[in-house]
Amino acid sequence: MVGAVVSRAEPLLQRFRIATIAAPDLRKVEADYTRWLGYRVRERGKVSGALAASWDAPRAAGRPYILLSSDTHPDVFVRAVGAPAVPGYRPLTTHGWNSIEIVVEDADATRARFRGSPFRVIGEPANLKGYPSIRAFQVEGRSGEVLYLTAETGDRSRSPLPPPRGPIGRVFIMVLAGPDIQAMIDWYSTWFGLASSPVRPSPIGVVQRAQGLPVEHGTPLATLRLAQQGNLFELDGYTPPATPRPRAPGDLPPGIAITTVAVRSLDALQLPFIAPPAVHDGLAYGGRRSATARGAAGELLEIVEE
């Protein structure tokens, strides 16, 4: 979902590079994303010990991963890393990364395309309140990841959405939930200079249904814009019954595990990293340094130079 953001100095975070999901079955992820989203596998590999340590997930070392992207935005990836299912995890009910929002050409045509797919539709196409030209629907994948598939139906030259350049485009919003929305805003503002939209209560149907909340329940919501147009964080303030995400010790969190963003230089950042910046192998990193930090909601934010 998209909101207006008050602009100040340019944020240090430039754009999204990777949305990483912890996947019990990589074969299913590959089948689903290649057939139903039209993505292509760009790389296969195994997580190195150093990379796993940088995520504070040493048990991920040696596990296989695949890197996928669209032909229209080949350098913005969905990465699936092999990981066991975590008992008790349910999407949209815990703190951390909860949704990946992907721009599409036509939300209704994409919904029709998804008929018969293993993606479970959890929200039918609808126009956003306050942004009637933006239309979206939501699905849940077989790894417990939630995708928002969102289209601009009006004047795209004036839209906050990036151009899809094809039926299904790239990641453009990552949705983060936590128990204290102001703490999340302060963390991203302090370390990266991101300005927040005003916090407003907003009914979010998929969240209400997942958590058994009344239809009139308003979730505190704010957005933060990255430097490059069409890249935003959505922050959702979850209240009980939402809980911290269950996680096996030393492993990645289930569902959407990591968001990776680009910066011009890690030297401009002073925040504490899980491990010092280092160069890791793989197409996603391109020989550039990266490092990972843990945010105010316990989320993993990986930062790579470009």
3-state secondary structure of 211: helix
pLDDT at 4: 39
SS3 24: coil
Identify the burial level of 128 via C-beta atoms within 10 angstroms of its C-beta, where 0-12 means exposed, 13-18 middle and 19 or more buried: middle
The CATH architecture assigned to 13-305 reads: Roll (3.10)
> Alpha carbon of 1 to those of 18, 100, 102, 208, 216: distances in Å?
19, 11, 11, 15, 18
- Which are the contacts of 61, defined by CB distance < 8 A and separation ≥ 6? 47, 48, 49, 51, 52, 53
Instruction: Provide the pLDDT for residue 80.
Output: 98
pLDDT of the chain along its 306 residues, tens only? 444 343 447 899 999 999 999 999 999 999 999 999 999 999 999 999 999 999 999 999 999 999 999 999 999 999 999 999 999 999 999 999 999 999 999 999 999 999 999 999 999 999 998 788 999 999 999 999 999 999 999 999 889 999 999 999 999 999 999 999 999 999 999 999 999 999 999 999 999 999 999 988 999 999 999 999 999 999 999 999 999 999 999 999 999 999 999 999 999 998 999 999 999 999 999 999 999 999 999 999 999 999
Distance CA 81, CA 56 (A): 14
Query: Do 96 and 254 form a contact (C-beta atoms < 8 A)?
Result: no
Handedness of CA 55, 57, 59, 65 (dihedral sign): negative
Residue 83 and residue 15: Cα distance in Å, rounded?
A: 26
Q: What does the pLDDT read at residue 129? A: 83
Helices then strands, each counted (H, E), the chain = 5, 16
Domain parsing of the chain, residue ranges:
13-305
